Amino acid sequence: MIANRGEIALRIIRACKELGYLTISIYSEIDKNSLHVKFADESICIGKNDPLDSYLNIHHIMSAAIAKKVDAIHPGYGFLAENLEFVEAIEDLGIIFIGPNSSTLKKISSKTKSKNIAIELDIPIIPGNMESIADFNQVKKHAYEIGFPIQIKSDNGGGGKGIRTVVNPDELSNAYDVVVNESLNSFGKSKVFIEKYIENPKHIEVQILGDKYGKIIDLGIRECSIQIRNQKIIEESPSSFINEALKNKLVNDAITIMKTINYTHAGTVEFLVKDNQYYFLEINPRIQVEHGITELVTGIDIVKEQIKIAFGNHLKINKTDIPINGHAIECRINATDFLNGNEIKDIVLPGGNGVRIDTHIYSGYTIPSMYDALILKLMVHATNRKLAIAKMRIALEQLIINGVNNNIETLYKIMHAKSFVIGNYNTRILENEVTYIGDEFDE
Ligand code: ADP
Ligand code: ADP
Ligand code: MG
């Protein structure tokens, strides 16, 4: 059973089918005409459109799982993918959860818990307070101890939500309220912690796969520095601009921390990198949105591997068998607003050698407003970064989505931003002035 919707549900359905498993989709009322419902072998409506009544409703999902006598549940990303209560409910019923087990999840159920594990392992972390706080006076005390600028972060955050930068102490109280509210609305939890604000870092992450027998390998790194409001919009694999020695250290640390928590399945360890220093950020114990670019450069189907691992297979891949082949880039196409409507009137997809598209939208599809804004993932793969950028520029030109306002033009501009092209960029690229170049490479 696939406990998710959208493009990731389709990705999982395809992997299951290739492995010869029958698939069951769940859906909310508004999703009844979605492709994840059409393409699954069976489907079951689990509630109304509000996620709390459907994709976030453990009781409804478990009832569906029992009714359909499912063997395993894949959670995708977002929704309940990292929810301990959900995983425990699945385990209690003897159903296979396609993700890490509850005892591993418990150890990393908040960002501060994970940071404490990193400290014990001597893995560099961003200076900050080490326990979650539910009280403004504590926030204030820690903020002054650490020194402004700081970040206030939801201890249970994800997707860039529940993070605010505070430069001026006068803004602290307001920022705290905003983070608490956003965190309550998005994750149902209100605790926060404080971190030093790292100026202009790069976001680098390590893709991990681990089986149930203690074997853990990495599938290389991804760079996800191009972000809007702390949410990734462009990712690359590998990263062309980090020092090899630093990369090796950070990959080793990622493996060490995952071994320490007996991690199984696919997971990611995220870091911020600034100059010649790296800092552990968090562990994402699930498949990530941007897993596809790692698949392109390694040739490994990460979702199929997850499923095989869950059914008790040994991980057959060895680190030495994984040459990183060329360069891959992903652009996340998001609906930016629905001011001009939410129905896809027309869609033309690019194609050709080295172009991959993961999407659930089609001509005539209406995008529900209560779910994720991600509508399509456009990925390209070429022998090197320059050729990958050239390919992405053309693919974006030939991607036409009419009917819904989206960010294709922004992404196209970034593919022509001098700083992006020459590799001189960080997570704040879009907050600073950008120089645009033509279709050449400014050489
Ligand atoms: P990735 O780490 O795979 O790049 P994102 O951070 O972009 O993923 O999040 C993907 C989706 O999952 C977004 O819709 C985001 O809001 C959601 N999400 C991420 N982390 C969590 C979490 N801890 N709880 C609930 N939803 C989450
Ligand atoms: P999420 O769970 O939402 O993915 P992360 O902790 O992974 O949250 O952070 C998401 C992004 O927010 C990072 O990639 C980075 O751009 C920014 N960020 C988070 N913490 C800091 C920090 N201490 N200093 C600077 N930027 C940060
Ligand atoms: Mg993150």
Tokens representing 423? 């590799």
Q: What is the pTM of this model?
A: 0.97
pLDDT at 128: 95
Ligand 3 centre and the CA of 140: distance in Å?
A: 24
Q: What is the pLDDT of residues 388-408, one digit of tens each?
A: 999 999 999 999 999 999 999
Q: Which residues does ligand 1 sit against, CB inside 6 Å?
A: 77-78, 82, 158-159, 161, 187, 231-232, 284, 288-290, 372
Tokens representing 255? 């493996």
**3-state secondary structure labels for all residues of the chain:** CECCCHHHHHHHHHHHHHCCCCCEEEEEHHHCCCHHHHHCCEEEEEECCCHHHCCCCHHHHHHHHHHCCCCEEECCCCCCCCCHHHHHHHHHCCCEECCCCHHHHHHCCCHHHHHHHHHHCCCCECCECCCCECCHHHHHHHHHHHCCCEEEEEEEEECCEEEEEECCHHHHHHHHHHHHHHHHHHHCCCCEEEEECCCCCEEEEEEEEECCCCCEEEEEEEEEEEEECCEEEEEEECCCCCCHHHHHHHHHHHHHHHHHCCCCEEEEEEEEEECCEEEEEEEECCCCCCHHHHHHHHCCCHHHHHHHHHCCCCCCCCHHHCCCCCEEEEEEEEEEECCCCCECCEEECCCCCCEEEEECCCCCCECCCCCCCEEEEEEEEECCHHHHHHHHHHHHHCCEEECCEECHHHHHHHCCEHHHHHCCCCCCHHHCCCCECCCCCCC
Which percentage of the chain shows pLDDT scores above 70? 100
Nearest CA to ligand 2 atom 18: 230
How far lies 55's CA from each of 48, 85, 201, in Å?
A: 9, 14, 34
Q: Please say whether the dihedral angle defined by the alpha carbons of residues 280, 283, 288 and 291, taken in this order, is positive or negative.
A: positive
Is the CB of 13 within 6 Å of ligand 2?
A: no
Nearest CA to ligand 1 atom 12: 78
From 32-36, 55-59, 239-243, 247-251, the region with the lowest mean pLDDT: 239-243
Ligand 3 centre and the CA of 221: distance in Å?
A: 14
Tokens representing 441? 């490479």
Enumerate residues 6+ apart whose C-beta is below 8 A from 259: 210, 214, 216
Average pLDDT rounded to a whole number, residues 188-204: 95
Tokens representing 187? 């994750």
Is the CB of 4 within 6 Å of ligand 2?
A: no
Known catalytic membership, residue 286: yes
Q: What is the pLDDT of residues 145-160, one digit of tens each?
A: 999 999 999 999 899 9
Residue 408 contacts residue 350 (beta carbons within 8 Å): no
Is the CB of 330 within 6 Å of ligand 2?
A: no
Q: Which among 163, 166, 204, 278 is the best mutation to test ligand 2's pocket, defined by most ligand atoms within 8 Å of the CB?
A: 163
pLDDT at 443: 58
Specify the residue for token string 């929810």.
83
Ligand 2 centre and the CA of 160: distance in Å?
A: 7
State the catalytic residue, choosing from 5, 11, 286, 385.
Answer: 286
| Ligand 2 atom closest to Cα of residue 157 | 2
Tokens representing 84? 């301990």
Nearest ligand, CA 77: 1
pLDDT at 320: 81
Ligand 1 centre and the CA of 437: distance in Å?
A: 33
Average pLDDT rounded to a whole number, residues 32-41: 98
Specify the residue for token string 């970040």.
151
Q: What is the pLDDT of residues 82-125, one digit of tens each?
A: 999 999 999 999 999 999 999 999 999 999 999 999 999 999 99
- CA dihedral 189→194→196→200, nearest 10 degrees, is 20
Average pLDDT rounded to a whole number, residues 2-12: 98
pLDDT at 430: 86
Ligand 2 centre and the CA of 42: distance in Å?
A: 38
- Indicate the average pLDDT of the chain: 96
Measured CA to CA, the distance from residue 44 to residue 438 in angstroms comes to 50
pLDDT at 442: 67
Tokens representing 371? 């779910």
pLDDT at 441: 85
pLDDT at residue 179 tops 70:
yes
Which percentage of the chain shows pLDDT scores above 90? 93
Q: Nearest 5 degrees, angle CA 59-CA 231-CA 154?
A: 60
How does residue 319 score in pLDDT terms, banded at 50, 70 and 90?
confident
Measured CA to CA, the distance from residue 356 to residue 370 in angstroms comes to 27
Average pLDDT rounded to a whole number, residues 206-229: 97
How does residue 298 score in pLDDT terms, banded at 50, 70 and 90?
very high
Nearest CA to ligand 2 atom 17: 230
Nearest CA to ligand 2 atom 12: 230
From 3-12, 388-397, 433-442, the region with the lowest mean pLDDT: 433-442
End-to-end CA distance of the chain: 51
